[in-house]
Structure 1
Amino acid sequence: MLTHPTLDQLHALGLSGMARAFQELAAASEADGLSHPEWLGLLLDREISVRQDKRLAARLRVAKLRQQACVEDIDYRSPRGLDRAMMQKLIMGGWIDAHDNLVLVGPTGVGKSWIASALGHKACRDNRSVLYQRVPRLFSELALARGDGRHARLLRTLGRADLLVLDDWGLEPLDAAARHDLLEILEDRYGRKSTLVTSQLPLEGWHEIIGDPTYADAILDRLLHNAHRIALRGESMRRVRTKADVNA
């Protein structure tokens, strides 16, 4: 008779995880041997797990990562210059706590976006806020926002995330508005938040793609001064997998 009132109270308090655990324990014969502290511990463990899952799902919805990727699935066997020891340090997330940046460069298809998504997913699991943006689309969105009054709000959003992933940087030269916006974003984040950049363009070409020398110096100083760098190489992993499928 006490089961239903208790469940009603748990649901009324928003403790859905504890409510489900209560039902399961009440229906399990082996639960009869549990002490009151053990019962309570199991209920609390379930509630904590449910809340963590909800928080992760919410962070992933906001992050909008490009790919569903997890750091546990990173492929270290393919010959692309990916150092396992360095990656393990990055996975731990200390660089985000230190507000450092990370730069991933390499030819198309070697897994830059996938690794960036995996690190973003791990940051979400670590209860950090993450935001993913493809650079060409971001600058188009900022140009539209400048015209409809959302520009300042969008810049604030980009500045707040614990980790901002800027994917596909350097595909096309920046115009004056894009240069200004990028400098504002990096200025807001420098020393306060972390930025992860992926690019097909080698670092020595970044100055030219920005265009204006003064802006280029300012942007690259804020982006690269405290950046960890990974230069990937090798054949496209998509092409390698296609060959493997054909030969299987």
Structure 2
Amino acid sequence: MLNHPTYDKLTRLKLFGMARAFAEQSALDLDHLGFEERLGLLVEHEVSERDGKALALRLQRAKLKPNTAAEDTDYRHARGLDKALFQRLLAGLWLKEKQNVLLTGPTGVGKTWLACALAHQACRMGRSAYYVRLPRMLDELAIGRADGRYMKLLKHLAKIDVLVIDDWGLAVLDDAHRRDLLEVLDDRHGSGSTIVTSQLPIEHWHAAIGDATLADAILDRLVHNAHQLNLKGDSLRKKRANLTSSASPE
């Protein structure tokens, strides 16, 4: 490691990116670069390293499904994915306008993967994200009501830039669930973006919620400013399993 007073001072100041770049520069012949150019390279390295660490922390906190980088999106399978719309969503304007995304379709067509890919892209753009299955979120809120963490949990969900709610409509909602869901979506309305995945078509969500008045209030905060991706087709997991089986030696 470089033994140099400047390197030691940069390290003491916790400018580790600049310290590493300084060590690299010391091993190179950069006499053709002026002071401002060399300083610019040091600062750029520090900013890049800090951005990388910040992204890693956002992704860790988001708890997204693994391997959901947007560049790995599969457009080959016929599942009704609107490529143009999905790429517009990846550009991020919907995040600035606090809009939502609703992904529907049968099991196995990649709803959760696409939702996490959008959230992953949001993290790259400096936004916070969090993935949770709806039954688990409602269970956590119920426990929070019992142990005094309820308001803290609501505040946490409210301040997230992109909240991914998976498996909407799988479980029967009771009155407490409906009211908790309304609290979450009301806090987020106009202040953040929500991504929802569901096997149920959107037109069935009102009935699935189970109370007409609360359903109106919940869906009003979720659907009317949302982009909709309606997927179809056979399970991609089933197709991949079949390909793996056919490729196996007898």
The 5 A counterparts of 1:19-168 are 19-28=19-28, 30-168=29-167
In 2, distance between residues paired with 1:189 and 1:144?
21
Provide TM-score, normalisation by structure 1.
0.96
In 1, distance between residues paired with 2:106 and 2:66?
18
Structure 1 contact 63–129 (Cα < 8 Å) conserved: yes
In 1, distance between residues paired with 2:24 and 2:58?
29
RMSD: 1.3
Alignment deviations for residues 15-41 of structure 1 (CA, whole Å, 9 cap, x no partner): 10010111111122x334332222112
Equivalent residue number for residue 10 of structure 2:
10
Equivalent residue number for residue 183 of structure 1:
182
Larger mean CA deviation between 32-41 and 89-98 belongs to: 32-41
Stretches of structure 2 lacking an aligned partner (at least 5 in a row): none
Alignment deviations for residues 3-24 of structure 1 (CA, whole Å, 9 cap, x no partner): 5210111112221001011111
Q: Post-superposition shift, 1:191? A: 1.6
SS at match of 2:136: helix
Q: Post-superposition shift, 1:66? A: 2.5
In 2, distance between residues paired with 1:153 and 1:45?
38
SS at match of 2:81: coil
Amino acid across the alignment from 1:144:
I
Amino acid across the alignment from 1:78:
H
Provide TM-score, normalisation by structure 2.
0.95
Q: Post-superposition shift, 1:42? A: 1.4
In 2, distance between residues paired with 1:67 and 1:16?
28
Identity in percent: 54
In 2, distance between residues paired with 1:41 and 1:246?
54
In 1, distance between residues paired with 2:92 and 2:73?
16
In 2, distance between residues paired with 1:84 and 1:203?
20
Structure 1 contact 68–117 (Cα < 8 Å) conserved: no
Asked if 1:174 corresponds to 2:173, the answer is yes
Runs of 4+ residues deviating >6 angstroms: none
Stretches of structure 1 lacking an aligned partner (at least 5 in a row): none
